[in-house]
Amino acid sequence: MSEIFIDGISRFWGPTRALEKVTFRVESGRFAVLLGPSGCGKSTLLRIIAGLDQASDGRIHIAGSDVTDMPPAKRGISMVFQSYALFPHLTVAQNICFGLEVRNVPTAERKKRLDEASELLGLTALLDRKPSQLSGGQQQRVALGRAIVAHAPVCLMDEPLSNLDAQLRQEMRLEIRELQRRLAITMLYVTHDQVEAMTMADQVILLNGGRVEQDGTPDALYGTPRTIFAARFLGTPPMNVINLSPEGAIEGSGGPPLADGRGDHAIGIRPEDIRVTAAGRIGARVETVEYLGADTLVGCRVGNQAVVARLPGRAGFSAGDGVSLDWPAERQHMFERSTGQRIDARNAT
Ligand SMILES: Nc1ncnc2c1ncn2[C@@H]1O[C@H](COP(=O)(O)OP(=O)(O)OP(=O)(O)O)[C@@H](O)[C@H]1O
Ligand SMILES: [Mg+2]
């Protein structure tokens, strides 16, 4: 069992609050993604869990033990840093095996793990080079290798794929996920990339300004976002959040009421849930058309609000066209504008 339990962690840098009462649990063997925009506190939290930094308040439990006051080496974790933190004077092979040597892992076992990791990461031909002789993406893979050979029950990764090209990134995502499953590692993986979160995670912990905005499965965050922030952070293009007039119509449209008349409410609708037709419920004008190959983004104006629809294939509309928009009622989300909180019936989940 190697569960991670983060209990009320706060971190202040002088008056600046980097983390505020962050609490969540990652069950043993699960892949959790810590997601959030730049500066929201992801690296700070990871460093605190690893024991490289102290929290101002709160406790860290790993595998049922309170490790808050333990040194990093005693916590049973491996970590991949956002900056690779490689030793410049050691070769790739020495960098990867450094931790194993320190822990007196026998030579044969060291060799076996090095072979396995360098094969997996495509580093076999580079084992005798120094970090300064590697590209950024290669250095990043060495940092990954060091975590992989550790075989620690808990692994922390801070944006480990940020310097790889799109194709390698895609491959490495699958490899990391497969490795994590095979070794039953409890993973806490930091990224600001929502696609990475959606495709890799069993559990997504979304941070915003040092607080947990939402904690749940990718499905739950995508399908039932608890706030406007969460609704717009996952999904590209993001969910449309449309202000309503006091009559409950789309602001400035004079159209039909879409909800009980509440001027402080906004509705949310995902681009792929919108139908665009010649004649329908909500009158709109097409402003932009972006053809992406598999689908087309149609940017429309309804009253004084902008609404983006995602349609399959070539949509067959042009800028300036008068169209109608519609969507199934059960696809519509409802938020309170002032607080950004979800207020519709699915609130409970
Ligand atoms: N040593 C420090 N001294 C003062 N403030 C710091 C320090 N380290 C981080 N911060 C601040 O704490 C906040 C969180 O930083 P952190 O590095 O955890 O963000 P992040 O979510 O990892 O961002 P990114 O996605 O850009 O890596 C930021 O506002 C940052 O400026
Ligand atoms: Mg960071």
**3 state SS of 151:** coil
pLDDT of residue 19: 97
pLDDT of residue 247: 86
Give the Cβ contact number of residue 297 at 10 Å: 17
Our answer on whether the CB atom of 13 is closer than 6 Å to any ligand 1 atom is yes
321, amino acid identity: D
Closest residue by CA, ligand 1 atom 28: 39
Quick one: which atom of ligand 1 is closest to the CA of 82? 27
Specify the CATH class of 236-343 in words: mainly beta
Do domains 4-228 and 236-343 share one topology? The answer is no
pLDDT 10s per residue in the chain (349 long)? 799 999 999 999 988 999 999 999 999 999 999 999 999 999 999 999 999 999 999 999 999 999 999 999 889 899 988 787 899 999 999 999 998 988 889 999 999 999 999 998 889 999 999 999 998 888 988 998 999 899 899 999 999 888 888 888 888 888 889 889 988 999 999 998 999 999 999 999 999 999 999 999 999 999 999 999 999 999 999 999 999 988 888 888 878 888 876 678 999 999 999 999 877 789 999 999 999 999 999 999 999 999 999 999 998 899 999 999 999 989 999 999 999 999 975 544 4
- From the CA of 42, how far away is ligand 1's center (Å)? 8
pLDDT of residue 261: 63
Of 78, 47, 59, give the one whose Cα is nearest residue 153: 78
DSSP assigned state of 239: P
Sheet containing 186-191: which strands, arranged edge to edge?
77-80, 154-158, 186-191, 31-35, 203-208, 211-216
pLDDT of residue 273: 97
At the fourth CATH level, the homologous superfamily of domain 4-228 is P-loop containing nucleotide triphosphate hydrolases (3.40.50.300)
Round to whole Å and give the CA distance between 204 and 202. 7
CA Rg, the chain, in Å? 24
**3 state SS of 273:** helix
Beta carbons within 8 Å of 248's beta carbon, 6+ residues apart: 257, 258, 259, 260, 261, 262, 265
- From the CA of 239, how far away is ligand 1's center (Å)? 28
Decide: 215 and 221 in contact? Cβ < 8 Å.
no
Write out the DSSP string of 25-93.
Answer: EE-TT-EEEEE--TTSSHHHHHHHHHTSS--SEEEEEETTEE-TTS-GGGS-EEEE-SS----TTS-HH
Residue of 11, 20, 35, 42 to mutate, ligand 1, most atoms within 8 A of C-beta: 42
Which ligand has the minimum distance to the alpha carbon of residue 41? 1
- From the CA of 44, how far away is ligand 1's center (Å)? 6
Quick one: which atom of ligand 1 is closest to the CA of 14? 4
How many residues comprise the chain? 349
pLDDT of residue 242: 94
Which uninterrupted H or E stretch holds 175?
Answer: helix 166-182
pLDDT of residue 235: 92
10, amino acid identity: S
With b meaning 16 or more CB within 10 Å and e meaning fewer, what string describes 200-220? bbbbbbbbbebbbbbbbebeb
| Partners of 202 in the β-ladder | none
pLDDT of residue 348: 40
Closest residue by CA, ligand 1 atom 2: 13
> Residue ranges per domain, the chain?
4-228, 236-343
Closest residue by CA, ligand 1 atom 14: 41
Classify 159 in phi/psi space as left (phi over 0), alpha (psi -120 to 50) or beta.
left
